[in-house]
Amino acid sequence: MSGLEILGAASAVLGFVETAVSLIGRLRDAYDRQTELSSVLDTYRRELISTRDILQIVRDEDALQTAAVGNELVEIENVSTKIVELLKTLTQEKGSVRQFTHQLVHGSRDERKLSDIFEQLGRAKFNLMMRMQAAHVGLTRKLDNSIAVNTSIVERVNRLLEPVLEEGQGLKIAKFLHDRCKNNDNDTILLDDSDVLYLQDGTAQEAHRLSGDVRIVMDNLTEDQALQINGPIGQEGWREVAHLEIRNNKASGNAMQVNHGMSIEAFTQMLALRSQK
């Protein structure tokens, strides 16, 4: 993909995700008093908003519009299209929201489908984040064929990424350049052959890492007596993943938080225990 094609793809995917945020918000508002349903829909909505924030950075920052990022945008577009289609069905069909509320506990094909799709979105978003972090931002080739990196560009893009990806999870090249001395006359750092080889090896290793399935759950907060489910419900036979990351999740007060998938039976038992309190 060219830069313009990636920009167009990012804008298109962003449109799908914003539509999904609106649709799931409509579902959430329709059954605000259904605590268990609301907690699940809130989880899905947070995932969509997080994805939207990342896509906005890709759309607005030329330095991140790489071919690898463009490839991940294609997958997110495929997944977000499925999400919008299913959410439209749930919000438009007569009685579908009420039916979905009932079937959330008892299990349904639509509920499992929605759960599976959001798991796909989580993997696609994680892969996109990894591609963004691995982008060789600020690299230039000089007239003498030497390679230099513009640190001001790296620092600017890194400041954009860290609030969305979390502090310390920005550009890998920013970590690589930490404490390196700049040239006296400008904001560039010359790279030698070993530096270039290191960066190339890091990109190859990242590509290998992304070839397997990933699952990431982070930065979720639930308080008071809320119930928060940060994983699919009702999916049988969980497959192993190449990368599983669960961190910075917090539950306080009498809140309950589940940060992995669970069966319909376990979910039903948990609801029964809550109702006894």
Report whether pLDDT(174) > 70: yes
Please report which confidence band the pLDDT of residue 87 belongs to, taking 50, 70 and 90 as the band edges.
confident
Give yes or no: residues 104 and 224 share one domain: yes
Give yes or no: residues 100 and 197 share one domain: no
Q: Could you report the per-residue pLDDT of 223-277, keeping only the tens digit for each?
A: 666 666 666 665 544 445 555 667 667 777 777 777 777 666 666 666 666 666 5
Give yes or no: residues 30 and 127 share one domain: yes
Comparing C-alpha atoms, which of 193, 55, 52, 244 is closest to residue 131? 55
Report whether pLDDT(137) > 60: yes
Query: What is the rounded distance in angstroms from the CA atom of residue 64 to the CA atom of residue 6?
Result: 10
Could you tell me the residue range of the domain that residue 10 belongs to? Answer: 3-132+212-276
Report which of residues 251 and 86 the model is more confident about: 86
Span 26-32, mean pLDDT? 68
Report whether pLDDT(146) > 90: no
Give yes or no: residues 23 and 121 share one domain: yes
Q: Assign 185 to helix, strand or coil.
A: coil
Residue 239 dihedral angles phi and psi, to the nearest 5°: -85, 150
Query: What is the rounded distance in angstroms from the CA atom of residue 155 to the CA atom of residue 56?
Result: 18
Q: What is the mean pLDDT of the chain?
A: 75
Q: With beta carbons less than 8 A apart as the criterion, state whether 114 and 271 touch.
A: no
Bridge-based pairing of strands 227-229 and 188-191 is unpaired
Using the 3D structure, point to which of 209, 235, 264 is the last residue of a domain.
Answer: 209
Query: What is the rounded distance in angstroms from the CA atom of residue 178 to the CA atom of residue 158?
Result: 12
Span 71-81, mean pLDDT? 92
Report which of residues 55 and 263 the model is more confident about: 55
**Range 1-7 contact pairs with CB under 8 angstroms and sequence separation of 24 or more:** 1/67, 1/70, 1/71, 3/62, 3/65, 5/70, 6/58, 6/65, 6/66, 6/67, 6/69, 6/70, 6/73, 7/59, 7/65
What's the structural domain count of the chain?
2
Tell me the two tokens of residue 119.
């798991």
Give yes or no: residues 187 and 256 share one domain: no
Instruction: Give pLDDT, residue 250.
Output: 75
Threshold 0.95, pTM exceeds: no
Using the 3D structure, point to which of 151, 174, 209 is the last residue of a domain.
Answer: 209
Using the 3D structure, point to which of 209, 238, 263 is the last residue of a domain.
Answer: 209
Q: Could you report the per-residue pLDDT of 176-214, keeping only the tens digit for each?
A: 887 776 665 678 888 887 777 777 765 545 544 544 555
